[in-house]
Amino acid sequence: MPLFLFLSIIVFSSGLAVKSHTYEHITEDGVLESFLCADKPLKEDTIVILSANFTHFISTASSFCLINSSSNYSLTLTSNSTQPAIVSCNSTNTSSVLPTTGFAFSNIRNLTLHKLVLRGCGGYLKGLVGLMKTINSTESSFYFSEYHSAVLLFLNIDTLHIMDIKIASYYGFALLFVNPVNVTGHCIAITASKSAQFISRHRKSPGSGIFLLFYDKWKIVFPNIFLDRMKLFTNFDDNYDITDLNDPKLFEKRIPVINAACLTVFFTQNFTVNVYISNSTIKRNYGSISGGALVLHSNSFTNSQVSITNTMFESNTGNKSYYCALHLAVLYKFNVKEHFYVKQTKILQPLYVYNSSFTGENIIFYDTIKSGAIYFAAYNPPDNKINVVLSNVKCNHINTLGKGYCLQANSNWRASCNIILENFLAKNNGNFLLLPIMESSTFMISNISNLVLSGSKNHYIRNYGSVFYLADTDVVLDGYFNFNNNNGGRGSVFFLYGTSRFYLVNGLRASFIKNNALLQGGAIYAAFDNCTKKCMCTFLLNSTHNNISINFIDNTATESGSSVYSTNLYNCYIKDEYYSAFKAKVLFHQISNGTLDTGLSTYTDKVCIFIDNECITFSDTISVYPGQTFAIPMAALDGLNHTVFSEVSLGLFKVLKSHLSQKTNRFFPIFSWSLSDSRQILNEGTFTVVQLTIQLRNETLNQIPHQESILLVQATTKSDINFSLPINLKTCPVGFEFNQEQQCKCSKAILKLQYPAKCAISYELNKNQKMFPNITISRPSTLTGWIGLLNTSLETNVFGVASTCSLYCNAIRNFNVFVIKENASIEIADIQNLGNSAPLCLEYREGPLCTQCFPGYSVTFSSNQCKRCSNWWLLTLIIYAAIGPLFIYILYALQLTLTTGTLYGIIFYAQIIVLFNNDSNYYQEMLLSMYYYRLTNGIISLINLNFDTGIPLCLYNGMTELVRSGLGLVFPIYLLLIVVGLIVASRYSVKLSNRISHSSVQVLVTVVHLSFTRLLTSVLDVFNSVEIFTNTTEVPLIVWYNDATVEYGRGNHLILMIITSLIVVPILLVYIIILIAGKLLLKIDSVREYIRPIYEAMHAPFKSNSEFSFSINVLFVSMIYIMYIRHFTASRLIPIGSVYFQIITFIHPFKKTYNNVLNFICIIVLSIVAVTWYYFNINGYNPTTALAIANSAIILMLTAVILSHISPFTRFIKRKKCYLTTKMQWLNHRSGTRAQCTSENNNFRQRQGSFFESCSEREPLLQMIND
């Protein structure tokens, strides 16, 4: 029944005029060969019915069997059943690699082929001598060679029906159509071409797949070719004559025809042809030009078109060339270069692909293939609009080594070629394992007029490399688009170059989401050629653009332009309207709904130093030292004032000022200095801190430039975008030396201090347009070290260091580094905050160990500070001279001597607390609290007969440390001389002798004890030395500690040592000997009477056998002072003192209870001060307030003691008044009054002893002096 229906259709399609047919039933082997290869023309319409029960072998020796009809009869070849009839062309050698037999059909009016299978067929076309001569005689650039072969050749067929035909294991072309008129193909299967071995042997292509040739030998009117439901699998072709469609041989001379592996359409004619491919599958084919299809227009000035619908191109492969296709190639080739119009129409559409897919999954050859899925090229195209339309097309999983995974398109002449992608899906194309991201793209289009992207469903998702790589090609965006998760090098979605621009059509809706660029332009990168006149903006649009919405969300770029990077965003034209930076910024905000406010970047407009979101210009010169690294915050800005990515080069130059005839200065490189990195990358979005190291190659004087020098920073893209920093190239600063590593490191003098010194030079930049070096050297842990310059007998400005400088150096707690200024002055600072600093030397001091005053300043008498002084201050000597007798008188009058026992604890406190007070240099002043502390400290110092109260008082202009040290002895010696003078004067005055005879030794001993620490420190200070290490000598300099400009033990210092030794040492020795060995001396008769008054004056208030406590206290004070003067800080002495204080707290040595109480209070206060000071010290707190409070408590106690001693004196005055009253009123005397006065006088005598009595005996010491 099906066969009957088919034959009925054949009869009807043959025309009503045909009245009879001849039926040929092929039921035996060999009959078909006799029919086809007999070379007899058809004489009537013939229907050949082949039996499907056996294989029809063709074994003729002829390469081609020609079936011809001189009278345009019809011919039908079909099977006799539902199964296809099998025809085999190689019965004897199935493994042959050479073509066997082909079949040519010519001049047949209506040809039908139905339900046939052809195996092993294909014959050389050269066997059709006449036909091939006719075909090759055209003016086309291509011809069929002697190696080309075919299975079925159709020539001059009016109507051709091919249905359910399968051609397998064939040679050459499976189907070769020459000028077909009306062709209907349905269910054609072509598979397993056997060209590989042939090509391997001959290195020539015999052809492959389906070939449609149109040329002008015969005039044909509007031919239409319909090929439906084809299956083209595993076909192979390799063309050695042409390796890619960009080969120059395509234009130079005639070459053998080129073809794809499956389908080739050759247009060389001047009449219009339409070829329709639908519902087909082209899969797993290989072709050197195209694995799928090839459409070639060679000088064909027509509107011929190939339409491909509902077709799947899958896993086809191509050659290693860039200019070929995996699936589909379209080539427009014209020999003429003049522009012309095709007369038939002004719009040409050579290719239309609809609802088709191009995929590349499961291909193992992509690691060597460079071609993309579709290739389009136009050579010398006409001026007509040429549209290549891909609508509802999918391109997925294409992974090759070339640019343009889905589409490669180019033209040698930018005519009106348009590529239209409508409702396109590109997904998962590209693979980072095969190709660097910078060389990858999904679409690569060059020199094409327009790429039109339109439609309501466009998705470009997860593609590797730029989705669109466009050069000299405009992009028209019209429709709805989703660009999501694409990854590229520059511009993960669009990479535009040359003259390319965007045209945004009103109604556009686009979303760029989570696209990532390795360098610039997270979504879009557009870099254009420099234009000199009217520059067009990157984004072009109509004046009415209120209905455009482009959203950029979470796009990123490593360098710049997280969403968009372009060189023509502003200062350009849209149509005829000029867009400044401000106007462009408003436009971008509007069309992007604000999503481009931060993700937009363009070319570098300027580079600068960037601080607090603004550019800073430096005018001050920056000092630069060898090998030092400094950080400069730099930024590159565009015209929108956004920080953008830029590469900059850096160099060192010396500046030669221009002459009058020259307009600019000249710059010459400095070769003796070098930079660690002459190129730097400035990042987008924020400033970039450039770490720069400048090195001196060799430290020689002639390599330090004397001219003005600059550090020049310029953008690599444009040299006139630059800025410069004026610099001063210097040798190593104070405290540093140039080492073998060409860097400034710690001086060897510092290393002699044997502590882990850290020397560093860093640079700080501030908003005041200044950059200055921070030159730091770590301080010793004791915070008492000194560094600086000094002069020796042989050299000047020698760098020196000393381990201690506690007298005149600031030793502020937490200031743990030396800071060397550019003028060689030294400061101390906190390493965490170098701005928190103080001078190394006390105020107005300088020089070695800070022992010198500034010029015009003098050493003060009562503090370590220097001050401008006048010689009028010498008048203060009158005050000092008056204070001495007054002080002695008070001691006599108020009985303020050691004998009473009330002063022991107070004096001991004053002697110890001064050590804590001296350590106040460790802390910065704190206004009122510090002044209050100084006041209390001064009062406590006076108890020790020390005028170092901390309040600077001048004596005369120009006083030095030598004089000051000598004057420190004057007041204690002056007091002693007054006392001794009074004793001597008493020899000549009995009345004076009666007044002081009982207290003279007590006062003398008290003055000696009060001045004990003053005399002791004077000796220790004079004999104290310090070593200064220098960088020029190995042997240290030994200088006097109080004045480092004085060489120890020489000159004036030697004189001071002798004077101090002669005056102070005897006093201290006698005092200490009597104190320690007094009891032993009392046993010696010759000295007993002289020693006893002094010994008893010292120990009178003590209990028997408790006198040792006073001796121990004095020895403890001596030991502490000696340790302190040997540079033991108070923090080291605290543990020793604390233990001693705890011991003596439990000793009650005095006879009277209130003396023990006073002494206990003083020791407790001293213990509390020690513990508090130590706690504050280790925690970095300022203890001066606590010291001031403790001092205040002792001062109040001293005041109370003095008041207690004033009471007897008051009563003495009252007694004298009573005595005078008695003498004046002796006539009217009242017994009650006399009794009252007498009683009070008796009480005084009993309490006070013989001070107010007449005395005829003298103390042994007085007697000795008077005798």
Residue 922 has pLDDT above 80, yes or no: no
Whole-Å CA distances, 913 to 910, 916, 937, 1165, 1189? 5, 5, 9, 10, 12
Residue 645 has pLDDT above 50, yes or no: yes
pLDDT of residue 1223: 60
Name the more confident of 112 and 1165.
112
pLDDT of residue 690: 85
In angstroms, the CA 760 to CA 745 distance is 8
Which residues, 6 or more positions from 934, have their beta carbon under 8 angstroms from its beta carbon?
A: 949, 950, 951
317 burial class (0-12, 13-18, 19+ CB within 10 angstroms)?
Answer: buried
pLDDT of residue 12: 41
**1117: nearest Cα among 1262, 955, 944, 908:** 908
Residue-wise over 103-138: b if at least 16 C-beta within 10 A, else e? bbbbbbbbbbbbbbbbbbbbbbbebbeebbeebbee
pLDDT of residue 348: 83
Which residues, 6 or more positions from 23, have their beta carbon under 8 angstroms from its beta carbon?
A: 46, 47, 49
- pLDDT, tens digit, for every residue of 121-139? 999 998 887 778 778 877 6
Residue 842 has pLDDT above 80, yes or no: yes
Mean pLDDT (whole number) for 733-745? 84
List, in sequence order, the alpha helices (H) in 179-327. Answer: 195-202, 249-252
In angstroms, the CA 58 to CA 739 distance is 95
Q: What is the domain partition of the chain in residue ranges?
A: 606-729, 736-787+794-841, 872-1207, 1212-1266
Residue 428 has pLDDT above 60, yes or no: yes
pLDDT band at 87 (very low <50, low <70, confident <90, very high): very high
**Other beta carbons less than 10 A from residue 853's beta carbon:** 27
The whole-chain average pLDDT of the chain stands at: 80
Least confidently predicted of 464-478, 869-883, 1099-1113, 1169-1183: 1169-1183
Q: Give the relative orientation of helices 1108-1125 and 1052-1082 as an angle to the nearest 10 degrees.
A: 160
pLDDT of residue 1227: 46
Least confidently predicted of 37-41, 700-704, 797-801: 700-704
pLDDT of residue 245: 72
Residue 174 has pLDDT above 80, yes or no: yes
pLDDT band at 1264 (very low <50, low <70, confident <90, very high): very low
pLDDT band at 104 (very low <50, low <70, confident <90, very high): very high
Mean pLDDT (whole number) for 497-523? 91
pLDDT of residue 115: 95
Least confidently predicted of 241-255, 264-278, 792-806: 241-255
Full DSSP string of 301-356: -S--EEEEES-EEES-B--SSSSSEEEEEEEEE-S--S----SS-SEEEEEEEES-
* CATH domain 606-729 topology: Immunoglobulin-like (2.60.40)
pLDDT of residue 1256: 40
Residue 1205 has pLDDT above 90, yes or no: no
Least confidently predicted of 853-857, 1110-1114, 1239-1243: 1239-1243
Mean pLDDT (whole number) for 900-908? 83
pLDDT of residue 952: 82
Residue whose structure tokens are 């997860």: 462
Mean pLDDT (whole number) for 286-306? 86
Residue 827 has pLDDT above 80, yes or no: yes
In angstroms, the CA 123 to CA 100 distance is 5
Residue 1037 has pLDDT above 80, yes or no: yes
Query: Measured between alpha carbons, how far apart are the two ends of the chain, in Å?
Result: 174
Residue 1265 has pLDDT above 50, yes or no: no
Least confidently predicted of 231-240, 427-436, 599-608, 923-932: 923-932
Q: Give the relative orientation of helices 1085-1099 and 1000-1010 as an angle to the nearest 10 degrees.
A: 70
Residue whose structure tokens are 């009178």: 1100
The neighbouring-strand residues paired with 166 are 117, 189
pLDDT of residue 785: 83
In angstroms, the CA 45 to CA 111 distance is 10
Full DSSP string of 117-160: EEES--EEGGG-HHHHHHHHTSS-SEE--TT-EEEEEEES-SEE
